[in-house]
Amino acid sequence: MSRTPSDKLHQLIRALSPAEKRYFRVYVKGKHGLDAKYVQLFEAMDAAEYFDEEKWRQKIYRTSVVEGKKFTELKAYLYELLLKCLQQYDELNSVQYRLNHLLQSVTVLFKRGHYDDCRELLIRARKLAVQYEHFLHLIEIVRWERQLAYTRMDIDFLHKYLEQLQGEEIRALEQMENASAYRRAFFEVYAAIKKDPLQRGPDRLMRLKELMSRDLFVSPDVAISHTARVLYYRTLSLYYHTALEQEKFYETGKMLIALQESKPHFLKENLSDYIAALSNQILACGLLRKYEEVRDCLQKINDLQAITEDDRRKIHRQYFSGFFALCTYTGEFTEARREMERCLKEAERFDPHEYETGSFYLQFVPICIGCADYSAALDHLNHWLAQRRTVGREDLQSLARILQLLLHFELGNFLLLDSQLRTAARFLKRKNRLHELERRFMHGISEAIRLPDARSRRAVFARVKNDLAPKANEPETRALLQTFDLLAWLDSKAGGQTFEEVVRKKYELELISSRH
């Protein structure tokens, strides 16, 4: 049986940034020129959106007879050449590569007795290692400085700097060990939270409190480097979010972002943690109704220049997720509707194996409801339900069933609603999600579809809304209402207004209240 051709080369080429592609073209131009077969293959794959091995083979070799392994060997050569080129490209932009290069150069010069040149390189390497907290490299630099003085029998240097070098080595080891302890603590807390995301009982919270009771979290001063302090605040932020301590979650996130922004050179090396911090702060500000701060965080995310492909995916997802959530809270449904198409269009450039657009579909539903386009809302909801990953979020599955009933009501599908109500009740009961909110809402819908006119239905919706309002802050209710303001929808049905009008008025009242 013949093997299916691998598409890894095509995927690599398509993932390159424009700057990386330019660098590769310059890189190969000095080797064999731009008419070499591997360059032709690179250009053909770069231009092709979809994998088509036979088309590329014909383009490169035309009518020539090709030996069985010849094209495979050409692809392998191009793949290896790309990796070498990208390594050189990264050396221009990565502190890790620059430090490695400097220390390798020290080794080369030392073997040939160029000791003054070694010292010059070590001075440059030390500056970089200290600035970016590369503790292992710093320890290696100290070792080289002692070795260099010993080889040259520079007793004056050793007499003057030996204690200082010893102190720097001890300090670097302490900082490395300290940062390692915080890194381990972060991942222990992260694993405890993610192990069973639906389990929110006292046992898990007690386990988290035990993890956070260690000396590491007595004070930020225990973290003795920027790296460790960032991990200190990231871990606290995770804990406060899980423990539902919203004010502390917000304050910790604010301190974390200020800390990261205080040393922007670190962000040129690694954006991932900063993107995560901004995303969490959007959530924290949303929970506390600090919507102007949400806008500030969204602007910061949108202004970021991605370093890696993973950064590009995260920036896209976190910006649009946050933007759609904000619009849902504030009633800016028309603005959000305009951005939906741009969101999906931009997502097409990402590898579908690495990036799913399905998670946006549930956010599209309240936006379309706000625009009174119930058919589009139902289409998006069905797209979301068809995604395999939805099984992991029972709270959102519960919301999806509520939204299904709501949309069929808006579309006037009253005959269908009878069976839909029974199906939803069975599903929620089986999933142990038939809470008071779901029960009362479904009872209200069932009652409303049996009434003859809109006026009599208004009284039903007003009663259901008043019954559910006191439950808005209960844990099993809060997650649902954060994604879709069911109370606002009930209010719109009770008062004969549009959903958009109710949400906007609610937002405006909150703004007035927050200013006094």
Is the backbone of residue 203 left (phi > 0), alpha (psi -120 to 50) or beta?
alpha
106 three-state secondary structure: helix
123 three-state secondary structure: helix
Taking the C-alpha atoms of residue 474 and residue 195, their distance in angstroms, rounded to an integer, is: 24
Distance between start and end Cα atoms, the chain: 75
CB-CB contact of 89 with 97 (8 Å): no
pLDDT of residue 435: 78
Taking the C-alpha atoms of residue 260 and residue 273, their distance in angstroms, rounded to an integer, is: 9
Block residue for tokens 């029974």: 422
pLDDT of residue 239: 94
CB-CB contact of 140 with 163 (8 Å): no
Tokens encoding 382? 């069905």
Taking the C-alpha atoms of residue 70 and residue 73, their distance in angstroms, rounded to an integer, is: 5
Q: Closest by alpha carbon to 157, among 128, 122, 131? A: 122
Q: Closest by alpha carbon to 313, among 266, 364, 363, 279? A: 279
pTM of the model: 0.80
What are the distances in angstroms from CA 265 to CA 9, 268, 281? 33, 5, 21
pLDDT of residue 48: 83
pLDDT of residue 478: 66
Counting beta carbons within 10 angstroms of the beta carbon of residue 189, is it exposed (0 to 12), middle (13 to 18) or buried (19 or more)? buried
Query: 119: which residues sit within 8 A by CB, 6+ positions away?
Result: 145, 148
Give the residue extent of every domain in the chain. Answer: 8-93
Query: 353: which residues sit within 8 A by CB, 6+ positions away?
Result: none
Query: 130: which residues sit within 8 A by CB, 6+ positions away?
Result: 138
Block residue for tokens 């424009």: 18
CB-CB contact of 383 with 357 (8 Å): no
Full pLDDT tens readout for the chain, 516 residues = 345 457 888 888 888 888 889 989 888 876 665 568 888 888 888 888 788 887 887 777 776 665 557 788 888 899 999 999 988 888 777 899 899 999 999 999 999 999 999 999 999 999 999 999 999 999 999 999 999 999 999 999 999 999 999 999 999 999 999 999 999 999 999 998 877 554 555 777 888 899 899 999 999 999 999 999 999 999 999 999 989 899 999 999 999 999 999 999 999 989 999 999 999 999 999 888 898 999 999 999 999 999 888 899 999 999 999 999 999 999 999 999 999 989 988 888 877 766 777 778 999 999 999 999 999 999 999 989 887 654 446 667 888 899 999 999 999 999 899 899 999 999 888 877 777 888 899 999 999 999 988 888 999 999 999 988 887 776 666 666 778 899 999 999 999 999 999 999 999 888 877 665
Taking the C-alpha atoms of residue 218 and residue 216, their distance in angstroms, rounded to an integer, is: 6
pLDDT of residue 447: 93
Could you say which DSSP state residue 392 is in? G
- Residue 449, number of CB atoms within 10 A of its CB: 20
Query: 414: which residues sit within 8 A by CB, 6+ positions away?
Result: 449
* Per-residue model confidence as pLDDT tens digits over 250-266: 999 999 999 999 999 99
